[in-house]
Amino acid sequence: MRPSSFSLVVILIISFLLSWPSSLNAAVNCNAIAKSFKPCMDWVTTGHKKAAVPPKACCNEMHKLNNMGIDYDAEIAICECVKSEMQDPSIDKKVADKLTWRCGVLLSFPTVPKVNCSEINATNTRGMNQDTN
Quick: pLDDT tens for 44-86: 999 999 998 999 999 999 999 888 877 888 888 899 999 999 9
In contact, 107 and 63? CB cutoff 8 Å: no
Quick: pLDDT tens for 77-117: 899 999 999 999 999 999 999 999 999 998 888 888 888 99
Full set of structural domains in the chain with CATH: 29-125 (1.10.110.10)
Can you give the pLDDT at residue 129?
Answer: 38
Determine if residue 19 is left, alpha or beta; phi over 0 gives left, psi from -120 to 50 gives alpha, anything else beta: alpha
Quick: pLDDT tens for 4-57: 655 544 454 554 444 444 444 455 789 988 998 899 999 999 999 999 899 999
DSSP string, 77-100: HHHHHHHHHTT-TTS-HHHHHHHH
User: What global pTM score does this model have?
Assistant: 0.67
Q: Which of 60, 66, 69 is nearest to 38 (CA)?
A: 60
